[in-house]
Amino acid sequence: MNRATTTLLALFAITASAQVRYEDLLKGPGADWTTYAGNYQGWRFSPLDQITAANAKTLVPKWVYHVPNARGLRSSPVVHKGVLYITNANSVYALDGRTGREVWRYIDTRAKGGGVNRGAALFANRVYFTTGDNYLTALDRETGAVVFSKQFADPSKGISSTSAPLVVKDKVIVGSAGGDSGMRGFVAALSAETGEEVWRTYTIPAKGEKGSETWGELIEWGGGATWLSGTYDPELDTLYWTTGNPWPDFAPGTRKGDNLYSCSLLALDLKTGKMKWYFQFTPHDTHDWDAQSWPVLIDLEWRGQPRKAVLHANRNGFFYLLDRVTGEFLRGTPLIDKLTWATGLDDKGRPVLIPGKDPTPEGNWVCPSVKGATNWMGQSYHPGTGLLYVLTLEQCGFFSTSAQTPQPMKNFSGGGATEEGGQVILRAIDPKTGKRAWEYPMTGAGRMWTGTVSTRGGVLFSGDDDGHMLALDAKTGQHLWHFNMGELLTASPITYEAGGKQYVAIASASAVFAFGLYEPAVSVPVKKVTP
């Protein structure tokens, strides 16, 4: 062993010290962007202000990283100390945030189930992500080395995993996907240290349990997937998680009743997973209207009283304001204009149905479409403007039933639905009134899944329905800048700072792009490399 090696050996035995602590996650974004939605409240808001409404017109692309074999990336990056982490199915890539150069990659070649992955989580010196076949894998943040990889659910029961985990204190909270082919949804807390299960709360009751009377015989396969990460209130020590549709999606005859706790918002105790309350947006859903987007936590004044509230822009076409301590329904307003299945919500928040809107053998035309008035696209709340920015979709579609008997895990949803055309409109909603402050209509075919991030610099970044990245004035919705990314956008942007400069990053279908303010290039002489 030569001397150089010996020195290195001694030096490299030391572990890196830069830890992501719970306190850092509590603080929310700054230079770093450490959780899927930025902060625990689900704001997707950044205090960075180098890029402003005044200078956004000088934004330029800074780097692009093509994720190997990626098609339709759904991942929203997380960033810590200048390193950006992006996921694809069963893989994580660590990139230098200033240059897009790869630092390491981890690909789990044996994972079964490709599909979608929405992102990673950071805690301590680790990156966490889940595989399509439900392994929670913890990797060393700096080297990509495996710390543990532990399976938390059985893929042979129709369960897969797509959401970015959420780390709170010593727990990694994971969800379950697969609700459209029959499965039993859950939210689970796993130990951040070992991946061992701490608790698991099912979103659908077992036969005989309270709530099971709202189901029929297919209750074990009732769905209620938890497709997306949730939010967390540190004071109340409560997690807010939404649940997906009941299964079979379009064959409601097999499941007479409200089908608890599908299409709902659940308030769960962080320590035990116990359900504190639930609110069901769409009882007995027949249109695959998962309660898809995450719940946004804000405090506001309601009828002269301060309230801890939770906002929810729902796929069913309504925008909800609830009390997040009790789950009390405060207000519901239409999120979209084309809404044909309910006349409104009653004083408990239950939809007032228009009869004859269920799927039929020949197809029933209903608005919103199966894709919904909004979906899992990243919404953003700006504490300065006081506005919530939501990508909404004015789209209608056919909903049909099938004569076949539903069979779990055969991906048989008991019928079908169409989701073409319509228009995507980015809407700025005032949570205090439920009214729209402004809106930004887009061109496109209604196929995007992209979302937003807003900044103290007064800029709202969003993808559009035509493959463009946009910068809008967060106050007025005025267009400031756009860039054609050349592909359908299916992921949401974030913003971070590296090397003292602000960047905005977003995944396109196949690559990660980072944008920043224009600066003239500095010539870099080629270094002679000495041996």
Partner 1 sequence: MVRTMRLYACLLLALPLVAQHGRYLNESKNPAIGNPEAIAAGGKLFNGSCAGCHGRDGAGGRGPNLVRRALWHPLSDDAIFKSIRDGVPGADMPPTKLPDDQTWNLVAFVHAISGPAFENRNPGDPEAGSKVFWGSKAGCSNCHSIRGKGGRMGPDLSNIGGSRPLAVIREAIVEPSKDLFLLGNEAVTVTLNSGETIKGVARNRSNYSLQIIDRAGTLRLIDMAGVKDLAVSSKSPMPDGYAQKLTSEEMTDLLAFLARQALRTAEDTYSRGKN
Q: Does 500 bind partner 1 (CB under 8 A)?
A: no
Residue number with the smallest Cβ distance to ligand HEC: 9
User: 64 is in the binding site of which of partner 1, ligand HEC, none (Cβ under 5 to 8 A by kind)?
Assistant: none
User: 521 is in the binding site of which of ligand HEC, partner 1, none (Cβ under 5 to 8 A by kind)?
Assistant: none
Q: How far is CA 346 from the centre of its chain?
A: 29
In the complex, the smallest distance separating the C-beta of residue 30 from ligand HEC, rounded to whole angstroms, is 35
From the list 155, 115, 116, the residue with the least C-alpha distance to 134 is 155
Tokens representing residue 66 in the block: 């093509």
First to last CA, the chain: 18
* CA–CA dist 169, 291 (Å, integer): 26
Cα distances from 528 to residues 4, 64, 99, 522, 525, in angstroms, run 21, 27, 21, 18, 9
Backbone angles phi, psi at 213, to 5 degrees: -70, -10
- Among 39, 59, 85, 108, the residue binding partner 1 under the rule CB under 8 A is 108
* CA–CA dist 245, 283 (Å, integer): 10
User: 305 is in the binding site of which of partner 1, ligand HEC, none (Cβ under 5 to 8 A by kind)?
Assistant: none
- Among 140, 180, 258, 419, the residue binding partner 1 under the rule CB under 8 A is 140
Q: How far is CA 130 from the centre of its chain?
A: 14
- Segment contacting partner 1 by CB under 8 A, of 23-31, 75-83, 252-260, 278-286: 75-83
> For partner 1, which is the closer residue by CB, 155 or 246?
155
Binding-site size for partner 1 (CB under 8 A) equals: 59
Q: Please spell the DSSP secondary structure of 458-474, one letter per residue.
A: SEEEEE-TTSEEEEEET
In the complex, the smallest distance separating the C-beta of residue 5 from ligand HEC, rounded to whole angstroms, is 5
- Among 56, 122, 153, 172, the residue binding partner 1 under the rule CB under 8 A is 153
- Give the count of alpha carbons within 13 A of 367, CB side only: 16
Sequence letter at residue 301:
E
User: 515 is in the binding site of which of partner 1, ligand HEC, none (Cβ under 5 to 8 A by kind)?
Assistant: none
From the list 49, 68, 63, 139, the residue with the least C-alpha distance to 101 is 63
- Segment contacting partner 1 by CB under 8 A, of 81-89, 225-233, 240-248, 485-493: 81-89
Beta strands of 97-159 (E only): which ranges? 102-107, 121-123, 126-130, 135-140, 146-151
* CA–CA dist 124, 142 (Å, integer): 11
* Cis before 248? omega within 30: yes
Catalytic pick from 140, 249, 288, 465?
Answer: 288
Q: Does 403 bind partner 1 (CB under 8 A)?
A: no
> For ligand HEC, which is the closer residue by CB, 143 or 400?
143
In the complex, the smallest distance separating the C-beta of residue 499 from partner 1, rounded to whole angstroms, is 7
Q: Does 1 bind partner 1 (CB under 8 A)?
A: yes
Sequence letter at residue 116:
V
Three-state secondary structure of 64-123: EEECCCCCCCCCCCEEECCEEEEEECCEEEEEECCCCCEEEEEECCCCCCCCCCCCCEEE
Over the window 86 to 105, marking each residue x when it contacts partner 1 by CB under 8 A and - when it does not, the resulting string is ----------xxxx-xxxx-
Q: Does 82 bind partner 1 (CB under 8 A)?
A: yes
Cα distances from 32 to residues 35, 52, 111, in angstroms, run 9, 18, 30
Q: Does 269 bind partner 1 (CB under 8 A)?
A: no
- Segment contacting partner 1 by CB under 8 A, of 137-145, 215-223, 293-301, 349-357: 137-145
Q: Does 522 bind partner 1 (CB under 8 A)?
A: yes
346 in active site: no
In the complex, the smallest distance separating the C-beta of residue 154 from partner 1, rounded to whole angstroms, is 5
In the complex, the smallest distance separating the C-beta of residue 140 from partner 1, rounded to whole angstroms, is 7
* CA–CA dist 229, 130 (Å, integer): 12
What is the DSSP secondary structure assignment for residue 224, as one 8-state letter? -
From the list 31, 242, 229, 225, the residue with the least C-alpha distance to 119 is 229
> For ligand HEC, which is the closer residue by CB, 1 or 526?
1
User: 180 is in the binding site of which of partner 1, ligand HEC, none (Cβ under 5 to 8 A by kind)?
Assistant: none
In the complex, the smallest distance separating the C-beta of residue 135 from ligand HEC, rounded to whole angstroms, is 21
Contact residues for partner 1 (CB under 8 A)?
1, 4-5, 7-9, 11-18, 81-83, 96-99, 101-104, 107-111, 134-135, 138, 140-154, 156, 197, 498-499, 522, 524, 526-527, 529-531
List residues with catalytic annotation: 288
